Amino acid sequence: MNDIKIGINIDHIATLRQVRGGNEPDPAAAARLIMEAGADRIIMHYRRDRKHIQPADLSLIRREVPGQFHLEIAPVPEMEEVILSIMPDSVCLVPEQPGETSEGGGLMLGDNNTAQAAKMIKTFSAAGIETGVYCDPVPQAIRAAYRIGADTISLSTVKYAGALGRKNQAAELEKLQLAAYLVKELKKNIEAGGELSYHNIGPVASIPDMAYVSAGFSVIARALFCGLKEAVAELKAIAEA
């Protein structure tokens, strides 16, 4: 059995709730079920536009749902106070664009955000919060995240998940494998996620030294037909096979 941990992103539970503006479905209730089903981590992307996860969700889930609590945030100053008040177990710095409906790839570190990202990593790490950077599986992105002190490198699987045909998917998987090898050489924790589903998560979970793989939308979509606990259990079984 593959020794891999599973993170489940619950953003789309909140997205559905926001359509009607009420209290249902409740992300905290979903988080409890997901952890009971065997997930190892609850993931939420706390966006500046608040299009799904709301401030009350953060405090409620942190307070009432046992287990690992992981937040994805943009590397912007306003998020520092949020993280230090909620104190999640881990954080990942991710790209964020207005109006986006899905992930487009890893965070591009450059002149406009490198100093801020480095500052946040230093602050969070000092507070005992494991902090990572979401990277495309290419050496330059991984080394850039390493240079600013990231504890974890989270590899983007968006291109792998979107590759059409076995040959193209195999090529993208090889990039992830090589990227993971580099991360291991740099002595950083390795994670991966982005558009993963029941059909493609297995090979990523099998990459040596991979600590966590994550999925979100595919699990919530599957849950419509079989229930949330069963959907999580099915994904976990595939990843661990």
Q: Which bin fits 109, alpha (ψ -120 to 50), beta or left (φ > 0)?
A: beta
Summary mean pLDDT of the chain: 96
Calculate mean pLDDT across residues 78-99.
94
Four-CA torsion 120, 122, 126, 132, nearest 10 degrees: 70
Query: In degrees, to the nearest 5, what angle opens at C-alpha 86 toward C-alphas 82 and 92?
Result: 70
Distances in Å between the Cα of 55 and the Cα atoms of 48, 59, 178 are 11, 7, 38
pLDDT tens column, 169-222: 999 999 999 999 999 999 999 999 999 999 999 999 999 999 999 999 999 999
DSSP 8-state class, residue 151: S
DSSP 112: T
Arithmetic mean of pLDDT, 103-131: 92
Domains and CATH numbers, the chain: 5-240 (3.20.20.70)
Per-residue confidence at 101, pLDDT binned at 50, 70, 90? Answer: low
Instruction: Report the alpha-carbon angle 38-223-22, nearest 5.
Output: 105
- Predicted local confidence at residue 236, as pLDDT: 97
